[in-house]
Structure 1
Amino acid sequence: MTRLHDHLAEAIKDPDPIRVPSSSGDDLICLRFETMKVYSALGAVRHLLETGRVRRGDTLIDSSSGIYAHALALACHRYGMNCHIVGSTTVDRTLKIQLEILGATVEQVPPSNNLQLDQNLRVRRIQEILRDNPTYHWMQQYHDDIHYLGYRAVADLVAEVVPDGPLCLVGGVGTGASTGAIAAYLRDRGRDVNLVGVQPFGSVTFGAGHTQDPDMIIAGIGSSIEFRNVRHELYDRLHWVSFDYAMSAAVDLLRTSGVFAGLSAGAAYLSALWEHRCDRGRKHVFLAADTGTRYVESAFARHAEARPMASMRPLEIDSLDDLSVPWSAMSWDRRHVGIGQTRGVSHPERLAELP
């Protein structure tokens, strides 16, 4: 029976589990979200209200390249909060108008070709706003582990949809509060889970700050600033994927399965196919965190340039010094940061255990 929802945020958060064919004949499973971070935002806002850290009518503020902005605006609308977004230029007109109608105030930093400069400008602007408005609550999606909470429900869904047995979960690392959280909750249930994180070149999160993608860093799955809520010890394998390869895989995903999803989904799909080829003993699930709408001009319009999937193979590396565009992969083996191999990343402060 179809359930009647009280708010759109509740209706759109659940992913569609979709079988995606692979050349081996064994299907991959794609968890296709309309906007995955709704789980994160709803869980965080609900927890803040329940614990009394904020009250209805308070203003929540954060920085976003797009997906989290929409999620936070929906969560604030759902729970009667005010919302202020400091966005990058990737927040396009369509999204900006939606945010404004939902009641959020939106400002964007000046355009920049340098992701680190863009993110630093956004953080600096938030700090300026907080000085003038000390009652605002900064959500800190990049640092606060409160954003793990909402993903328990996704882990429950994976446990229900994917048959018992060893599992491999593949998806963008991002702030750490998606792939990391889902895997941790599944492991808490006793599931054997290999976690494969996907990163762009140029992201410092797993030590690739010394590299650069000739096209662009894929927004949302990595950063040139430190994300302190990433628990590096949760990850078994890492893949670094260029814009060119992610675009090619996203086009193939649409062509072969009908799934229209973003660049992070293309990178996760490409990585999941490789991991499945190397380990047939596990069911492989990859995350498609958002739709492909905001990538139409930057990526999908270039579909004629897409590379054949069979032509793309990762460089397997043992050291981060060997990272090489367009695609590198490495066994991370659930290690902490700061053991000598990792470059460009300081050791993050230890976060509280998962609630």
Structure 2
Amino acid sequence: MDQHIAEAIGRPDLIRLDDRLVCLRFETMKVVSALAAVRHLLDTGAVRRGDTLLDSSSGIYAYALALACHRHGMRCHIVGSTTVDRTLRTQLAVLGATLEQMEPCSDLKLDQKRRVERIHEILAEHPEYHWMRQYHDDIHYLGYRTVADRIRAATGADGLTLVGGVGSGASTGALARYLRAAPDGRSAEGPATEGRTAEGRSAEGRSAEGLGADGRAAADVELVGVQPYGSVTFGSEHVSDPEIIIAGIGSSIPFGNVRHELYDTLHWISFDAALAGSIDLLRRHAVFAGLSAGAAYLAARHERERTPGRTVLFIAADTGHRYVDTVHARHRQAARIADLAPHEVSDRSELALPWSRLRWQRAPAPAPAATTSP
């Protein structure tokens, strides 16, 4: 029996949509990483019950950290994006978390930059606060070990293609590393190495035992990342989407815990194409999920058709409730996914809307995405 609602919320469902397409469906995915990260910090003495945990969020992580703090008796302070809605503000308030929300801003890049600046101001005023650094610390990989174990038990993990939004790298990156590793945490190339943070190795980073240096191991697991246009993470900042940057799967600033060398293929998917994917996912399979899930579903269907014999699993990071007005209410406008196909490119300079695909081949980070500090 679960001891707290966060444990139930963080446990995903595995849903077979057809013989080779599987959906890993979360109610709120980042609860997995937040719970494990806070538990580890307590276990190692980095924080104590009653301390204040601090981070920036556009929405989902704020809720996840608030739940983890509620579970473990911590205080929670969030610097929130302009996109944090009334429902989430109310939940955070009742859970006891404090929220500083940025003033309305039409430029999401500026919004993200202002939030990071505010974090540093708060730390200067309150050095006793612990910054969770969800975008920079490998500690957020830890919670996905049990999820990977469950996937391995259900699919065998050999001949598996994993598809999902890149985001901070903690979900897709961690799952790929754990799935590629042997069950004892050792890679085919020898003992697993320590995790890293953007600032080098740390106590938190060293906790990510079982993660190989480059993720290579005996298990045949392909990793396909999904990005929005305009994201610096894999170098698409020169292409803008006339709608929006899909929150949660891309970034306008470098993220320190994305391991680019883990990814085999990248799909860049526009808002309109992701909307079509979300609508088809609900209409065809009755899975009510968010916009990033629609993008991952679209990419997963394409990868399934390209690779007969492989099982393709995609991540649905959250439910569709936040997207009712912006996505699902527009179902009559959605394109048929049968009419959509990616533009195959060999270089990032060739990226074009609404959908592009590139064989990344575990290459290192492009220059704009390289970072050495949060």
TM-score for the superposition, normalised by structure 2 = 0.88
> 1:353 is matched with which residue?
none
- Give the distance between the partners of 1:299 and 1:308, measured in 2 at CA: 15
Whether the aligned pair in 1 keeps the contact of 2:20 and 2:304 (CA below 8 Å) is no
Letter in 2 for 1:115: L
- 1:327 counterpart = 2:355: yes
Query: For 1:89, what is the secondary structure of its paired residue?
Result: coil
Q: Relative to structure 2, which stretch is displaced further, 162-171 or 235-244?
A: 162-171
- Give the distance between the partners of 1:315 and 1:164, measured in 2 at CA: 29
Whether the aligned pair in 2 keeps the contact of 1:30 and 1:286 (CA below 8 Å) is yes
1:9 counterpart (2, 6, 11): 6
Deviation, structure 1 residue 281: 2.2
Whether the aligned pair in 2 keeps the contact of 1:168 and 1:194 (CA below 8 Å) is yes
- 1:108 counterpart = 2:101: yes
Query: What does 1:5-44 align with in structure 2 at a 5 Å threshold?
Result: 5-21=2-18, 26-44=19-37
Letter in 1 for 2:33: S
Whether the aligned pair in 2 keeps the contact of 1:115 and 1:223 (CA below 8 Å) is no
- Give the distance between the partners of 2:146 and 2:85, measured in 1 at CA: 30
> 1:347 is matched with which residue?
370
Deviation, structure 1 residue 191: 2.0
- Give the distance between the partners of 2:219 and 2:9, measured in 1 at CA: 27
- 1:57 counterpart = 2:57: no
- Give the distance between the partners of 2:108 and 2:163, measured in 1 at CA: 24
Query: What does 1:1-355 align with in structure 2 at a 5 Å threshold?
Result: 4-21=1-18, 26-163=19-156, 165-189=158-182, 190-337=218-365, 342=366, 345-349=368-372
Aligned length: 339
- Give the distance between the partners of 1:155 and 1:314, measured in 2 at CA: 28
Whether the aligned pair in 2 keeps the contact of 1:30 and 1:285 (CA below 8 Å) is yes
Q: Please list the CA deviations of residues 8-52 of structure 1 after superposition, one character each: whole Å capped at 9, or x if unmatched.
A: 01111111111224xxxx441001100011111011111111111
Letter in 2 for 1:97: T
Deviation, structure 1 residue 347: 2.7
- Give the distance between the partners of 2:327 and 2:80, measured in 1 at CA: 21
Deviation, structure 1 residue 348: 3.6
- Give the distance between the partners of 1:215 and 1:164, measured in 2 at CA: 36
- Give the distance between the partners of 2:157 and 2:342, measured in 1 at CA: 29
> RMSD across aligned C-alpha pairs, in angstroms?
1.4
Report sequence identity in percent. Answer: 62
Q: Please list the CA deviations of residues 173-223 of structure 1 after superposition, one character each: whole Å capped at 9, or x if unmatched.
A: 000000000000011124210000000000000011111101000000000
Deviation, structure 1 residue 7: 0.2
Whether the aligned pair in 1 keeps the contact of 2:164 and 2:314 (CA below 8 Å) is yes
Query: For 1:78, what is the secondary structure of its paired residue?
Result: helix
- Give the distance between the partners of 1:34 and 1:232, measured in 2 at CA: 27
Deviation, structure 1 residue 100: 1.0
Letter in 2 for 1:201: Y
Letter in 2 for 1:6: Q
Segments ≥4 residues shifted beyond 4 Å: none
- Give the distance between the partners of 1:70 and 1:157, measured in 2 at CA: 24
Letter in 1 for 2:259: R
Deviation, structure 1 residue 132: 1.1
Gapped regions of structure 2 (runs ≥ 5): 183-217
Letter in 2 for 1:15: P
Q: Please list the CA deviations of residues 36-95 of structure 1 after superposition, one character each: whole Å capped at 9, or x if unmatched.
A: 111110111111111111111000011111111111000000010000111112211111
Deviation, structure 1 residue 165: 3.0
- Give the distance between the partners of 2:360 and 2:316, measured in 1 at CA: 22
Letter in 1 for 2:104: P
- Give the distance between the partners of 2:126 and 2:230, measured in 1 at CA: 33
Letter in 2 for 1:17: L
- Give the distance between the partners of 1:29 and 1:111, measured in 2 at CA: 38
- Give the distance between the partners of 2:277 and 2:106, measured in 1 at CA: 24
Letter in 2 for 1:217: I
